[in-house]
Structure 1
């Protein structure tokens, strides 16, 4: 299976946010999308999840034309293509476990969800997802009492409950300190490697993209200007993506550094054996 963007364009009035993008992403890749603010990264992810519709072009997942989906079929796609946001998008007053179980909303009758009725299997799966992210001890706390790094891990656990085929992360570490950024990126990499789930993540930092992503897509002005491996992301490629300083000087990569590297050894996160099979439809 593969995901394809075919000549995708998104306009906002006279502004072109994403301009004629063509990408083919095989199942199981971990892809980092980098570029300046306003380059079109977030718009691209929102179109993949169909939170925004392309102005022209089409989106395809295997034989499914994603850009043509409506109604229940569209809701099913948004279930299968889980989204993690920079702002976490949790319900602060609800406890952590309930927030995680909300990832099952598109798998169950609406009446059960409205009444807050979850099955024993769903509760077991929620605890398993929290254990995997190393935050099971927070299960009964209101989500709003957690730190930013913990809330982002709750959001990842909720995404796992959707049993997705693809995981999209829109600037998942932009508001986190380096330690929590590493914990979150280790978690995303672990999901990618163990489940074979495609992960596409927008990142501001070159070192993070190089450390975690097998493929890097660079955007500038709505266009894809680089598509290659971390080793191919050289000074010339960085110049195409980020341009130069006002005096024509090269961009200092330390400006985009978080001082984190992969290793799955960050304090507070040790990937456990995957135990979310009971959440799968």
Structure 2
């Protein structure tokens, strides 16, 4: 269980996240939606402890992760893997080495300084790449891959952490629809097969509806919607995205991709039954 207890984050006079309180059970696949600047990325970064809350506390399995320091913080960031929009790979290193970097918080400082990885770790990394259908790129420099391939390498690196929780910050924002679908399929597969909780910020409603069994909508740093996809009504969308300059409701077409969400099968997720989105 991940518990976010009245967490806020201020940058000077600006409040990016405002008294957010959430409980997320093990095995859910959660999509966080909202306008740019709604506080989505700040919330994920506080969960991962890349930044600290100004107020409130974050707990996982009853332990306050917002109080972790030193070794306990490193262990939390191992257990709580982060996937970024811009991949955060080392372009000059080969793909296999980039994936192996996911083991750093499992190893001694001496082994990390020497850059020595065991045969078992290399086999594990190749297995992660094979699972994501990019094992053929293992010896290529990461910087030579397409955006979609790089994001799959980043997910493989996250798997190497053997995490309890995966946070994905706009993982498909810079990808074309085909690669976006491959990446989202990969995250959903991890959620289903391993039962790992996945929390992902998304800028498209159709993707959130198609892949997530729980959707959280943020506006102005606050949670204004929290429920299953079928409850994300026109009124709820207006709460999240507001109105346009003429006071009219925001068209969902503005927030949609050309991912063929209507073709996704109805599946059993690790958290609950996920109904495929059948259109607007």
Question: TM above 0.5, one fold?
Answer: yes
Distance 2:243 2:260 in 1: 26
Is the partner of 2:236 in helix, strand or coil? helix
Residue 255 of structure 1 and its aligned partner are, at CA, apart by: 0.8
Distance 2:102 2:112 in 1: 11
Contact 2:244–2:250 (8 Å) recurs in 1: yes
TM-score normalised to structure 1 length: 0.93
Distance 2:260 2:187 in 1: 13
Contact 1:93–1:142 (8 Å) recurs in 2: yes
Distance 1:73 1:14 in 2: 31
Distance 1:171 1:111 in 2: 34
Distance 2:200 2:243 in 1: 24
**Pairwise CA RMSD:** 1.0
Contact 1:168–1:200 (8 Å) recurs in 2: yes
Q: Deviations over 1:48-93 (max 9, x none)?
A: 0000100000000012111111100000000000000001000000
Name the residue aligned to 2:204.
205
Contact 1:9–1:57 (8 Å) recurs in 2: yes
Name the residue aligned to 1:275.
none
Residue 264 of structure 1 and its aligned partner are, at CA, apart by: 7.5
Name the residue aligned to 2:270.
none
Residue 36 of structure 1 and its aligned partner are, at CA, apart by: 0.1
Q: Where does 1:211-230 land on structure 2 (aligned, <5 Å)?
A: 211-230=210-229
Name the residue aligned to 2:135.
136
Q: Which runs of 5+ in 2 are unaligned?
A: 266-280
Contact 2:16–2:221 (8 Å) recurs in 1: yes
Name the residue aligned to 2:259.
260
Name the residue aligned to 2:64.
65
Q: Deviations over 1:194-249 (max 9, x none)?
A: 00000000000000000000000000000000000100001000000000111011
Is the partner of 2:17 in helix, strand or coil? strand
Distance 1:251 1:14 in 2: 29
Contact 1:218–1:241 (8 Å) recurs in 2: yes
Q: Are positions 1:172 and 2:166 aligned together?
A: no
Q: Which runs of 5+ in 1 are unaligned?
A: 266-281
Residue 110 of structure 1 and its aligned partner are, at CA, apart by: 1.5
Name the residue aligned to 2:268.
none
Residue 261 of structure 1 and its aligned partner are, at CA, apart by: 3.9
Q: Deviations over 1:244-264 (max 9, x none)?
A: 111011111111111214567
Contact 2:210–2:264 (8 Å) recurs in 1: no
TM-score normalised to structure 2 length: 0.93
Is the partner of 2:259 in helix, strand or coil? coil
